[in-house]
Structure 1
Amino acid sequence: MTEVLNKLLFNRYIYFLSKGNKRFAGHSKWANIKHIKEEKDNERMVLFHHLKRQMEVAIQENGITKPSNNVKLAQIIEQAKKANMPAASINTFLEKMEARKNKTQTGIIEVRGPNGYVMLVRYATDNTKTFMLQFRTKIKKTSAKIAEDSAKQMFTHVGNITVEKKDDLEHAMEDAINIGAEDVEEFEENNIKYFQFKCEPKLLNKIRNLLQGLQYNVLSVEENYIPHNIIELNDSDLEVISQIRDKILSLEDVSHIYDNIE
């Protein structure tokens, strides 16, 4: 199930990679080979970033950075190894997570791009000053600009808890009402059905514990920012956005990106 969930989350996480990436007739064979390699390298980078994010969540859930004492973390590390993530990268990340225990600060950076594009960047770091310096350096090399506390108003902040489907949707709705969740939806990925309970972000841990008490198998707990309006951009703008995201995702302390495009 962990492998299925990782594929589910990863497929959503890299949707932007396919936008604006078109090869045209007339390019040389080398140009096409180079383009394909860049796409694969980019996809590999995003996959590794996603896996590290999953490790971080597993560590945050029980405060243990040792895989031998954290079953969920051990499962994700096994997935990382299968994806050919270097052992040195895994060990360095675990050491970093151990060192930053109880020192982590989280936050949201608001970024504006071309033609109405808005991005919210969630980060978790043990050195905010250094991280912000690195972030500004990355942004300076693009056409994006850091916004001043206005972009977040264009999104609705929600909490999502994904669980394995148990019983039927009507029963799940009754459970949602009883535990104080705002809503529940059923969805399917790779022929497997899930429920997603929605609640206020500040109630995520409480609702998760109550769901586990009702014998639901909780697969993921996450905050989400849903845009009030979706915008459409041309291929040129999407290519620019892809480059902006690549630079931001190269920062290890970035945990998630939310934006207002499909």
Structure 2
Amino acid sequence: MFSSYKFSIGCVQTVCKRYAGHSKWQNIRHTKAAKDGEKSRLYIKIGQQIKIAIQETGNADPTYNSKLSQAIDVARVNHVPSATIQSFINQAKNSSDKSKVLWIDLKGPRGCFVIIQTLTSNPKRTKDLITNIIKKHSLTVENNLRNQFTHKGIVVAKPNSNFKDIEELCVEHAIEIGAEDVKHEPEENVLKFICEPIYLKQVSDKLKEIGYEIEDADDHFLPNSTVSLDEVVMQDLSNAIDKIYTLPDVIKVYDNIE
């Protein structure tokens, strides 16, 4: 069982949310990611995020480009070497590629949604590739589904072994560092601290100062509500998402499945 705490000024309340737990869907996706070596694509995806930040603003200086600064922070938290980060920046500055961010929204059975972030120089080609994949599965292209999600930052942290009463302590720490929410996942011995994306580095740095080991920090689109699907449908959608992830233009995929 997991615990989730969401707080506002003067109160702390306990709530349960899909993205903190271990549902059948999350177990399917976790197993697939481990098997398929999804982590091996980390550098590629971070390089794409740095490129997006520079192309959207035209500025390669993180001091004056908050999106680039955030992308660099994510890279550092994920242990990307400084030389590699600088190489990504240089490549983006010198690139004549006119790739742009394209979001593709998909709707599936029983009100499930999948939103896909891509970086592409040929939107029609990218959309056609995704459409070709989903026609073999129970998904259709829709518009404006991102409003069914909320953009947040998530820092995944492992508590210090000396911490006692982590259920209560994590709430104190979350309030102290300015996080909005914290989820405890005792099965993996990690906590997920939720914040506004612009505060990812601040929250990550403060957690390290307190004594946490940072395992991951990135921005996500979290579903405003979730849907339940039977195992057959979940497996079909998981297979579709696996295929979508193999496309080089695809950066991130989010869904609202429990």
TM norm structure 1:
0.57
Q: Residues 107 and 230 (structure 1 numbering): CA distance in 2 closer, same or farther, change over 3 Å? A: same
Cα deviations across residues 212-247 of structure 1 (Å, max 9, x unaligned)? 344432110123333333323345534542442233
Q: Is the 8 A contact 2:28 2:238 kept in 1?
A: no
Cα RMSD (Å): 4.1
Pair 1:52-2:40 in alignment: yes
Pair 1:163-2:170 in alignment: no
Give matches, 1:137-216, under 5 Å: 137-149=132-144, 151-166=145-160, 167-168=163-164, 169=166, 170-189=168-187, 193-216=189-212
Q: Is the 8 A contact 2:159 2:211 kept in 1?
A: no
What corresponds to 1:101 in structure 2?
92
Using CA pairs below 8 Å that are at least 6 residues apart, which structure has the higher relative contact order?
Answer: 2
Q: Is the 8 A contact 1:17 1:242 kept in 2?
A: no
Give matches, 1:1-262, under 5 Å: 15-16=28-29, 43=32, 47-48=36-37, 50-56=38-44, 72-73=79-80, 101=92, 106=101, 108-123=103-118, 125=119, 127=121, 129=123, 130-149=125-144, 151-166=145-160, 167-168=163-164, 169=166, 170-189=168-187, 193-234=189-230, 237-262=233-258
Alignment partners' CA distance in 2, 1:53 and 1:189: 26
Cα deviations across residues 127-149 of structure 1 (Å, max 9, x unaligned)? 36353443344345544222111
Which letter maps to 1:51?
Answer: K
SS of residue matched to 1:101 = helix
Greater CA drift, 138-147 or 110-119: 138-147
Q: Residues 214 and 56 (structure 1 numbering): CA distance in 2 closer, same or farther, change over 3 Å? A: farther
Alignment partners' CA distance in 2, 1:235 and 1:62: 38
Percent identity over the alignment is: 23
Cα deviations across residues 63-117 of structure 1 (Å, max 9, x unaligned)? 9x9xxxx99358xxxxxxxxxxxxxxxxxxx9x9688535775554321123322
Alignment partners' CA distance in 2, 1:186 and 1:235: 26
Which letter maps to 2:253?
Answer: I
What corresponds to 1:79 in structure 2?
none
Which letter maps to 2:109?
Answer: P
SS of residue matched to 1:157 = strand
Cα deviations across residues 178-219 of structure 1 (Å, max 9, x unaligned)? 3221122332235xx222211112322332233334443211
Cα deviations across residues 13-56 of structure 1 (Å, max 9, x unaligned)? 661599xxxxxxxxxxxxxxxxxxxxxxxx489623x1234334
Q: Residues 132 and 210 (structure 1 numbering): CA distance in 2 closer, same or farther, change over 3 Å? A: farther
Q: Residues 235 and 201 (structure 1 numbering): CA distance in 2 closer, same or farther, change over 3 Å? A: same
SS of residue matched to 1:72 = coil
What corresponds to 1:35 in structure 2?
none
Q: Residues 139 and 232 (structure 1 numbering): CA distance in 2 closer, same or farther, change over 3 Å? A: same
Alignment partners' CA distance in 2, 1:45 and 1:218: 19
Give unpaired runs (5+ residues) of structure 2. 1-21, 51-70
SS of residue matched to 1:189 = coil
SS of residue matched to 2:79 = helix
Which letter maps to 1:208?
Answer: S
Q: Residues 208 and 17 (structure 1 numbering): CA distance in 2 closer, same or farther, change over 3 Å? A: closer
Alignment partners' CA distance in 2, 1:105 and 1:13: 30
Which letter maps to 1:147?
Answer: E
Alignment partners' CA distance in 1, 2:254 and 2:176: 30
Give unpaired runs (5+ residues) of structure 1. 1-8, 19-42, 75-93
Aligned pairs, how many? 199
Indicate the structure with greater helix content.
Answer: 1
